[in-house]
Structure 1
Amino acid sequence: MMIGLSKSANRGQIWVGVAALLIAVGGPARRGAIRGTLVLGASTLVATKLLKPLFPRHRPPVHAVPGQRRFGDAADTPSFPSAHAALAAAFTTGVAIESRTAGYLIAPLAGAIAYSRVHTGAHWPSDVVAGSAVGVTVALLTQRFWSAHGQNAA
């Protein structure tokens, strides 16, 4: 289950699907989906293009995780920070800025995706914590130039 969950978040695919559902709901959830989708790109740039080259940490060794929990070969990109965790945190925070309710509903999914990266041996726990911090920070920074709308905003 964790392998499938982790793979579903590759390139933010799962967040695009969640955004489509939130857009269909409308209202604050729709605005959250738009903000969340926009911060996906920004958090990807910060995590993968800025931070990973600065901190070229190796991923956990193959023997550190039982075979049934690992999915394929280890990625050849640096481990720190986790871009999957950054995307999950950025999208969820972006949604929550506009709609606390929608943010609360998708937060467990974001947490599960972040955990799946450690469970499958793709990242060290500190990679996931750092990635999550990157995502939350990027999403919160959007409020500097795009204020939240409505009473349900966080």
Structure 2
Amino acid sequence: MADHVLLTTLVASALPHLLKTLFDQQRPDRLTVRGHWRGVPFSGKRFDAFPSGHAVHVGALASAASRLPGRQRNIAWLVGAGLVATRIVLLAHWTSDVLAGLAIGVLTERTLRRFTGYGPDRDKR
């Protein structure tokens, strides 16, 4: 389990950086006539909105947590949802960037299960 989570974390860390070199999605405009909206500082490079790296991490790790007992699994998803919601509220990412990041994270973790043996089929071995 630890090996799977470590590999998932490493891949989820590198993947958003790779994807941001391929996609030039502009971040939401936080500037208003009176300055930054609600005092929000700049968050990363202007054209690095897609995908949300935070959302990729949350999607991957919460997907791995799906194997935990119900209460722990639900806490992982709840905390993760709160974290990625801040990315939208702070205007660091568009909602689509966050949703895509979550999906990419989940797909990444589920793909890595094939290489690490982590998942429901592991108990049958």
Give the TM-score, by structure 2 length. Answer: 0.80
Question: What letter matches 1:99 in structure 2?
Answer: L
1:67 to 22, 38, 53: 38
Q: Which is greater in Rg?
A: 2
Partner in structure 2 of residue 93 of structure 1? 63
Counterparts of 1:124-135 in structure 2, within 5 Å, are 124-135=94-105
Residues 150 and 100 (structure 1), Cα distance of their counterparts in 2 relative to 1, 3 Å cut: farther
8 Å CA contact retained: 1:44, 1:87: yes
Is the counterpart of residue 54 in structure 1 residue 35 in structure 2? no
1:104 to 40, 65, 74: 74
- Structure 1, unmatched stretches of 5+, are 1-30
Specify which structure has the higher proportion of helix.
1
Aligned length: 116
| Aligned-CA RMSD value | 2.1
Partner in structure 1 of residue 93 of structure 2? 123
List 4+ stretches of structure 1 deviating above 4 A: none
Partner in structure 2 of residue 13 of structure 1? none
Residues 150 and 104 (structure 1), Cα distance of their counterparts in 2 relative to 1, 3 Å cut: farther
Partner in structure 2 of residue 145 of structure 1? 115
Residues 115 and 78 (structure 1), Cα distance of their counterparts in 2 relative to 1, 3 Å cut: same
Give the TM-score, by structure 1 length. Answer: 0.66
- Structure 2, unmatched stretches of 5+, are none
Query: Any idea what the Cα deviations from partners look like across 1:18-58, whole Å, max 9, x if unmatched?
Result: xxxxxxxxxxxxx3x65334312112222212x11111111
